[in-house]
Structure 1
């Protein structure tokens, strides 16, 4: 079987992960019990996850000239992710994410650095790569104008666009109109639509987002699984899996990579969401975003 081609356009960060028993209170100094420096960034995480599933992945992004940047590019290359389109920015440091991990959950502060130097002109320089992709996978840790331009170019080339709208922010209508699959969590869905996405309000919020232009809406619901809405307006819930959670840092990224990989193979949306749920379930059982991404065989062997 020919490997699907996925182009990931997004961020590369060095994750500085601090482990502690709880989160510090405002003004408090407390002791942690571990620190790790791990390759991250939503874009790079999704690229690694897709590559481990067997996709031929090209990463489009930017790093600084510092050691962190060199490490991040090397980490991608080790995972067989193409890095020719990762630009080295002379005027900015590599992006950094400060991550507190407490009792299996996490809290994250991101400093974009070189990620915010990625401009529409950089996307134009990758037109040939984008034109041959099965899926173009986007997130929101690079400038919104660059994301919008990437989606516009991908659609002009006849490509399928998957947008993970994280971190949460308002999105221009033009961007949404160029998105085939959008994958907010409840918080992101609420911000995008301006309405509650809890309980019985979930369907109405997803329907509103679909009305804003995105062709298919998939909402991740944490331990409750996920739900998706087709263009016809049918809502389907896909249950999650009960797992022994170690670290949720890469959960959303693994889900998006699994979804993109499955869609690139030509599977139905329901099949793709179910596959993505398995990828995400396995990812949270290991520490670290990129190190925790499962292989295709592990996903195929997983029975929940």
Structure 2
């Protein structure tokens, strides 16, 4: 079984500071790093570092393109469906970290040029039971095309609607797993889930749209799963929070890895929570994502 990840690749430019500057103000930061990121690439690397067979579908540009590709290769992610477009820059994320929380400004760059042809080429090798993970840092129309095409092949589809953007109402019924966070839930449903009761109310909203399985991430409060068969509340593991940049990506990559190995939803959620807990205790994106043995050791403890 393979996991195909369709999405963004960005070079993350990260700096720490203790406040947001006022208009016209210059302040001093520290700990600057430039490291490969992007929700798509992060999720691909997250699953691969845990042991999954992963192919990345996406675009990079002239600036940082080879760095982003090489990071995937170093982490055993397949790159034959990665296109380099020399007329634009790769995607860029300028990230300011304040007390462990991040604020991000994106320039899509080459990510905006990912198109239907890239999907068609990648899915020539896909088979029933393979998994598609995708997000919304690329054109939502391309994402919707990929999800619908994946279901025609009988693939398992995972949509992480981040950052939240308008979607066609009919795409939800093609989502096997819909994995939003609290702010994304608010965007689509006008419900901000904070506990099991509000999470259930929100999950039912997405079920009514046609989603098969809803998995809501609740930050430090954990996660909540709902389907026709069961509902599960999972507490987050406590962690020394350093940088939350790739926490959600770690969770999704780990969850996909577990279901690709036929683990139960509860096992997958617990494993994903541990992967996210390790990630937020480290600085950076892909470099912060854990290996399988690290997650297993945390769960044993």
**TM surpasses 0.5:** yes
Match of 2:251 among 255, 264, 276: 255
Coordinate RMSD, CA, aligned: 1.4
Q: Does 1:285 align with 2:291?
A: no
Distance 1:90 1:133 in 2: 35
Tell me which residue corresponds to 1:137. Answer: 133
Match of 1:48 among 39, 45, 49: 45
Tell me which residue corresponds to 1:116. Answer: 112
Q: What does the per-residue CA deviation read over 1:161-202, in whole Å, with 9 as the maximum and x for residues that have no partner?
A: 011110012221222111100110111011111233344432
Q: Does 1:82 align with 2:54?
A: no
Match of 2:171 among 172, 175, 179: 175
**Residue pairs, 1:1-304, within 5 angstroms:** 4-66=1-63, 68-131=64-127, 134-199=130-195, 200-232=197-229, 234-303=230-299
* 3-state SS in 2 of match to 1:302: helix
* 3-state SS in 2 of match to 1:137: strand
Distance 1:257 1:133 in 2: 17
How many residues in Structure 1 have an aligned counterpart in Structure 2?
Answer: 299
User: Which of 7-16 and 124-133 deviates more?
Assistant: 124-133
User: Which of 162-171 and 40-49 deviates more?
Assistant: 162-171
* 3-state SS in 1 of match to 2:241: coil
* 3-state SS in 2 of match to 1:142: coil
CA positional deviation for 1:241: 0.9
CA positional deviation for 1:40: 0.4
Distance 1:23 1:206 in 2: 34
Q: Runs ≥4 in structure 1, deviation > 6 angstroms?
A: none
Distance 2:129 2:21 in 1: 44
Give the 3 Å change call, closer, same or farther, for CA 91–226 of structure 1 in structure 2: same
* Structure 2 segments unaligned to the other structure (5+ residues): none
* 3-state SS in 2 of match to 1:130: coil
Distance 1:201 1:258 in 2: 25
User: Which of 234-243 and 22-31 deviates more?
Assistant: 22-31
Distance 2:222 2:43 in 1: 19
Q: What does the per-residue CA deviation read over 1:113-171, in whole Å, with 9 as the maximum and x for residues that have no partner?
A: 10010011211111223336621111111100110011011111110001111001222
* Structure 1 segments unaligned to the other structure (5+ residues): none
**8 Å Cα contact 1:53/1:294 also seen in 2:** yes
Distance 2:71 2:266 in 1: 32
* 3-state SS in 2 of match to 1:201: helix
**8 Å Cα contact 2:194/2:218 also seen in 1:** no
